[in-house]
Amino acid sequence: MRNLSIDRINEAYYGDLGTDFSKKTRERINWIVTHVEGDRILDIGCSQGITAILLGREGKKVDGIDISDESINYAVKDLKNEHDSVQKAVTFRVANFMTDVDINLDYDTVLLTEVLEHISDPDEFLRKIRKHIKPDGKLVVTVPFGINDFIDHKRTYYYSLLVEHLSTYFHIESVDYLGKWVGVICKASSQGNDSLYSKQAIRQLEEAFQKVEREYKDQLEHYIRDNHLYKKHSEILQKKEPLLDELKLSFIEKEEYIRQLQIETVELLNREEEALKDAIAKSDKITELNRQISELEHRYNVLRRSRFGRIQIKYWSLKKKIAGRGKK
């Protein structure tokens, strides 16, 4: 099966995709979990499996299915880090809800979170879900609230279209707005729906719009402020460009001056090194001459102390005198 674009819900829940997104994701998932009833749960489009695992920790028996190989592989790997009791309570498998024939028919609660907006035929999909829930069971639905231009989204949900789809097969107990998502609690009962367009429903919708609009407005003001600061800094930099050019030129000149000093220093060191080598060579010669003189002095002293040496010294002294008289 071809891997689909993975929904990184576990990473968002644990804060790997940013603090603000993590907070919103936790609030939505916690809302889902708190509305689950019964012990047998089906999580359709379970993604990376965080909701199923959280329910498994509470002792619920959860079957998680998703059409994405990559999502299920991630969920299975994440499940292995849980306690044995959670691993026994939760199962994950790749499955297409509309064509799979091995799905049980008696779930207490079915989760349909961020799935319905992907379905091209929601009526048939919801009709099939009804068959897999107990007569008094529950359906928990969440969808993006308003425009969310994901490549695989088939439609945009606000209020009317969502309750129209759900109310055909379920009794709608409540509609809650979760920031940029909307959550609906449904019962699989024969009880009809009361007026879906009550004053309270309209007021909730308006408050949700106001909250989302306020968030977008704050973001827009933030972007405008950042853009203003960017332009201001750009203008300051443009005004300082001549000074920066002058400083750059001065810096280049100083770099060249330092380079010349380095060259002259190296040349001076080379001359001093040659002079030092010459002085060492002369010192070595003087040392050698001193050694030779010392050796001659030693030999002379040895010779003078010996009998033969004294005779020889007198001989040479006498010969020197004779030579001197001959010159006169």
Q: What is the pLDDT of residues 221-262, one digit of tens each?
A: 777 777 766 676 666 656 666 766 777 777 788 888 788 878
Q: Which of 177, 197, 217 is the last residue of a domain?
A: 197
Residues 177, 33, single domain; the answer is yes
Please check whether residue 226 lies inside any domain of the structure: no
210 in any annotated domain: no
Tell me the C-alpha distance between 271 and 265, whole Å: 10
130 and 44 within one domain: yes
For residue 233, tell me if it sits in a domain.
no
Considering the domain architecture, whether residues 298 and 193 belong to the same structural domain is answered as no
pLDDT, one tens digit per residue, over 138-194 is: 999 999 998 877 788 899 999 999 999 999 999 999 999 998 999 999 999 767 777
Provide the number of structural domains found in the chain.
2
pTM recorded for the entire structure: 0.66
- Same domain, residue pair 185 and 264: no
- Residues 312-318 have a mean pLDDT of 74
Domain with 114 in it: what CATH number? 3.40.50.150
Q: Is residue 184 in a domain?
A: yes
Greatest distance between any 2 Cα atoms in the chain: 160
For 172, the domain range is: 9-197
User: Where among 179, 197, 215 does a domain terminate?
Assistant: 197
Identity of the residue numbered 230: Y
Q: Are residues 154 and 255 in the same domain?
A: no
| pLDDT range class, residue 93, cuts 50, 70, 90 | very high
Residues whose CB is less than 8 angstroms from the CB of residue 154 and which lie 6 or more positions away in sequence, other chains included: 117, 118, 119, 120
Q: Do 65 and 147 share a domain, yes or no? A: yes
What is the 3-state secondary structure of 225-243?
HHHHHHHHHHHHHHHCHHH
Confidence of residue 90 (pLDDT cuts 50, 70, 90): very high
**pLDDT at position 2, please?**
42
- Rounded distance between C-alpha atoms, residue 160 and residue 197, angstroms: 9
Residue 206, in any domain of the structure = no
